[in-house]
Structure 1
Amino acid sequence: MLKVEGIDVFYGNIQALKNVSLTVEEKEIVTLIGANGAGKTTLLKTLSGLLRPTAGTIQYLGESIRVKPVQSIVKAGISHVPEGRRVFANMTVEENLDLGAYLRKDKKGIKQDLDKVFSLFPILHERRNQLSGTLSGGEQQMLAIGRALMAKPKLLLLDEPSMGLAPLLVKQIFNIIQEINKDGTTILLVEQNAHMALSIANRAYVIETGSVVLSGNASEMQNSEKVKEAYLGGI
């Protein structure tokens, strides 16, 4: 579904990604793990068109999306849930969700997907007329995921969905990620909580200082001495 080969990305003179390659197959959950500043968020921003690589290729469903504008990438079926939620604080929950479907014209389908989001996140239905800025961190994360789902993505890019959340909420969010995947959506997950990410992923990539240094099946990664030492607390 997604094939990235040899991409380089710079912020000014600073190289953030160095010769990064990865693949995501349809209906997989693939996770990217790595420390803060390793390049994980940069990679997702590049895939969604917010940043441009200076070298390499990005193929999605057999077509190059390397220079496509953001709206075309969304229309093609890639939705991005950014780090830090980024909900529109002065708009209601329902208005945020409506914005997620801004490129769609199928009113019946939009209504069905809104109902689906409300069934995944019942708390959002309860609070649909509430200003998003007044929601808790966990509720805002649910809203950010729900808003991305309203674009009807084939591939969902998730950036640190567990950040700042209590352990019980983290478990709930990860259960919902699995549910979204079982419903047919492919997921590329950036996550610092390596335990949780590897427990639900099919495959994983480890990024260090802008380069992919390890890749393999998630279960293999959990048993890798290097991954255990660096990201799983040595256990």
Structure 2
Amino acid sequence: MLELKGVNVYYGAIHAVKDISLTVNQGEIVTLIGANGAGKSTTLRTISGLLRPKSGSISFEGKEIAGVKAHEIVRQGISQVPEGRRIFAEMTVMENLDMGAFTRKDKDGIRADLKRVFELFPRLEERKSQVAGTLSGGEQQMLAMGRALMSRPKLLLLDEPSMGLAPLLIREIFHIIEDINRAGTTVLLVEQNANMALSIASRAYVLETGRITLSGDAAKLAASEEVRKAYLGG
């Protein structure tokens, strides 16, 4: 579904992503793990069109998308839940969800997807008239995910969904990610909580200072001594 080949991304003179190549197959949960500053979020932002690679190829369903504008990439079927939620704080929950469907015209489909979002996140339905900035951190994360789902993505990019959340809420969010995946949405997950990420992913890539240093089956990486020492506290 998604393939990156030799992708390089710079912030000015800083070489943030160095010759990255990776694939995501339809129906998978694939995770990128690594320390702060490893290039994980930069990789997602480049896929979603918020950054342009200096070189390399990014193809989605066989079409080149490197350099395509972000809103066009959403139309093609990729939606991102950004790090730090980035909800529209002064708008209501319902207005935020409506914004997620801004590229769509199919009213019946939008209604069906809104119903699905409320099934996944009942608290959002309870608070649909509430100003989004007054929600708890966990509820804001649910809203950011619900907003992304309203574009009906084929591929969902999740950037640090557990950041700042209590352990019980983290488990709830990860169960919901699995539910979203089982319903047919492919997921590329960036996550510092490597234990949780590897527990739900089928495959994983390890990034260090902008380069992929390890990749493979998520369970095997979770069991490897190198990964345990570096990321799992083993």
Q: Normalized against structure 1, the TM-score is what?
A: 0.99
Aligned to 2:96: 96
Amino acid at match of 2:168: L
Q: 2 CA distance for matches of 1:182 and 1:158?
A: 16
Aligned to 1:57: 57
Which of structure 1's runs of 4+ aligned residues deviate more than 6 A?
A: none
Aligned to 2:78: 78
Once the two structures are superposed, what CA deviation does each residue of 1:178-220 show, in whole Å capped at 9, x if it has no partner?
Answer: 0000000000000000000000000000000000000000011
State the Cα deviation string for residues 148-177 of structure 1 (Å, max 9, x = none).
Answer: 000000000000000000000000000000
2:116 counterpart of 1:146:
no
Identity %: 65
Q: Secondary structure at the match of 1:26?
A: coil
> What amino acid does structure 1 have at the position aligned with 2:181?
N
The amino acid of 2:84's aligned partner reads G
**Mapped partners of 1:67, 1:229: distance in 2:** 37
Alignment of 1:106-117 (within 5 A): 106-117=106-117
Secondary structure of 1:96 counterpart: helix
Once residues 61 and 5 of structure 2 are traced to their aligned partners in structure 1, the CA distance between those partners, rounded to angstroms, is: 14
* Aligned-partner SS, 1:71: helix
Report the Cα distance in structure 2 between the residues aligned to 1:9 and 1:70, rounded to whole angstroms: 16
What code does the residue aligned with 1:19 have? D
Write the letter of the residue equivalent to 2:2: L
**Which residues of 2 match residues 146-185 of structure 1 at below 5 A?**
146-185=146-185
1:116-135 to structure 2, matched below 5 A, reads: 116-135=116-135
For 2:2, the equivalent position in structure 1 comes to 2
Which residue does 2:17 correspond to in 1? 17
Task: Give distance in 1, aligned partners of 2:102 and 2:13.
Answer: 35
Alignment match, 2:207? 207
- Matched residue SS, 2:130: coil
Q: Does 1:105 align with 2:105?
A: yes
Counterpart secondary structure, 1:46: helix
Name the aligned partner's letter for residue 65 of structure 2.
Answer: I
Once the two structures are TM-superposed, the CA of residue 67 in structure 1 deviates from its matched residue by 1.6
Deviations 1:66-87 (A, max 9, x none): 0211111000000000000000
Give me the whole-angstrom Cα distance separating, in 2, the residues matched to 1:37 and 1:159: 13
Alpha-carbon separation, structure 1, partners of 2:226 and 2:104: 45
C-alpha separation in 1, matches of 2:222 and 2:116:
33
Greater CA deviation, 173-182 or 62-71? 62-71
Give 5+ residue unaligned stretches, structure 1.
none
- Counterpart of 1:204 in structure 2: which amino acid? A
Q: TM-score, normalised by structure 2?
A: 1.00
Equivalent AA in structure 1 for residue 150 of structure 2: M
